Structure 1
Amino acid sequence: MPRSRQPDLTRTALLQAARQVVQDQGAALSLDAVARAAGVSKGGLLHHFPSKDMLLQALALALVEQFREELDAAYARECADHGQRPGAWLRAYITLTFEDSEKDMALHRALAPLTEQPTLMQALTDAQTFLLDQAEADGLSPGVAHAVRLACDGYWLAERSDQPRLSAVQAQHLREALTAWTR
């Protein structure tokens, strides 16, 4: 990548490269590999992300932001298809939870060891508080809203870890039950 006076574009390229390197190599990535994949010098990478931990934290936060954008789009589709009724946001959340995204599974598994870093975990917690607010603002009782959200989170986590997985039929039954709770 040629020298750029557009730091946001360079940051984006670095995060995309880091994402690919993490998918290929895991969270033990080297900064050299990320710089090479992005087409920048290691010094250029360090200008934007002074440490590997800062790069991985930025990547994790970028994933949260990407999820939020996907959730906003799914919510807009749900509202366009069925109107802005109570439970629409949670139905969008259910839709995203049960989408098959095998390519992202490797990335999330690779980032799992980062859960042992308290600073990163606090940043991720702070970045995801919108989930609590949105669930409660969806027009259903808070108990139902959080039960649906937490069931989705549990399913998502089991799919990306060494937990026993539901069969396709079991997952479909779960999805249908959660969706029914939102109607």
Structure 2
Amino acid sequence: MPDKPLVRDRERTRRAILVAAERAVVDRGAKVSLAEIAALAGVSKGGLMHHFRTRDELIGAVVAHTIDRMWEEVRAHVDLSENRPGKFTRAYVRALTGGSEYLSEVFSPTGLLAALGSAGIESLGRLEHADARAWNDAFDADGLPPGRALAVRYAAEGVVAAINTPYLDAEQLACVRAELLALTEIDTEVP
């Protein structure tokens, strides 16, 4: 019984460090110091180092955490009552265009993905390749024509990058979201 609170504290501390590291990378760039991340997480630098032995390990964990959160966001938007092709792609569109503050920040031109792209950590390549395969497999299994799924997917990513900028207002967002969702219907004709 005494082990359970320790495990829970470890998990909570690890998550707090990852969330703080995400925030710090967005605010200060991938070269943010471990001391700054520790302070944001409310732990000592030694406490941070207990969970992540190196800077590269921490950045790798931030990338993995970001990947997991993105999958969670998309899965949360799957409508289980939909039993037709495009269910996953519609969830992806809804997640990216539906007001998720997290995804808006991740895909922002100055956001987490942009900052992590400059991290220069070679080991991230394997993680990114595995994640890319998982996304590609999910879209391939969704039942839409492959070209259409790709077009909708990357259009949604472009839309989320424009959210909270002067280039996309609320009316335009609603319009493009509806159009992207319409494209996920198999009987929608595309010229």
- Normalization by structure 2: what TM-score? 0.75
Query: What is the CA-CA distance between 1:93 and the residue it aligns to?
Result: 0.7
The answer to whether the Cα contact below 8 Å between 2:85 and 2:142 also exists between their aligned partners in 1 is: yes
Q: 162, 166, 169: which is aligned to 1:167?
A: 169
More helix, by proportion: 1
How far the C-alpha of 1:24 sits from its partner, in A, is 4.5
Q: Which whole-Å CA distance do the structure 2 matches of 1:34 and 1:45 have between them?
A: 8
TM superposition shift of 1:23: 4.6
Unmatched 5+ stretches in structure 2: 186-191
* Distance apart, 1:118 and its partner CA: 5.5
Cα distance in 1 between the residues matched to 2:29 and 2:105: 8
Distance in 2 (CA, whole Å) between partners of 1:86 and 1:105 is: 26
Measure how far apart 1:50 and its partner are: 2.4
Deviations 1:3-29 (A, max 9, x none): x85343432221123234345544342
Unaligned runs of 5+ in 1: none
Distance in 1 (CA, whole Å) between partners of 2:106 and 2:35 is 19
Are 1:71 and 2:70 matched, yes or no? no
Q: How does 1:13-52 map to 2 (within 5 A)?
A: 13-52=16-55
The Cα RMSD (Å) is: 2.8
Q: CA offsets, 1:87-139, max 9 Å, x none?
A: 11111111011122446645653431321326235523422422211111111
For residue 8 of structure 1, what is the aligned residue in structure 2?
11
Aligned residues: 174
1:176 matched to 2:178? The reply is yes
- Identity %, equivalent residues: 37
Distance 1:182 1:169, change over 3 A: same
The 5 A counterparts of 1:22-171 are: 22-75=25-78, 78-80=79-81, 83-102=82-101, 105-106=104-105, 109-111=110-112, 112-116=114-118, 117=120, 119=122, 120-159=124-163, 165-171=167-173
- Measured at CA, do residues 165 and 130 of structure 1 come closer, stay the same or move farther in structure 2, by a change above 3 Å? farther
Within 1, Cα distance between the matches of 2:32 and 2:52?
14
Q: Deviations over 1:68-87 (max 9, x none)?
A: 01211211xx123xx22111
Aligned to 2:189: none
CA distance in 2, matches of 1:69, 1:107: 14
Alpha-carbon offset, residue 45 of structure 1: 1.2
Distance 1:182 1:105 in 2: 22
CA distance in 1, matches of 2:77, 2:102: 19
Q: Give the whole-Å Cα distance in 1 for the aligned partners of 2:36 and 2:52.
A: 14
Cα distance change on mapping 1:63 and 1:26 into 2, 3 Å: same
Residue 80 of structure 2 aligns to which amino acid in structure 1? C
Partner of 2:188: none
CA distance 1:104–1:88, change in 2 (3 Å): closer
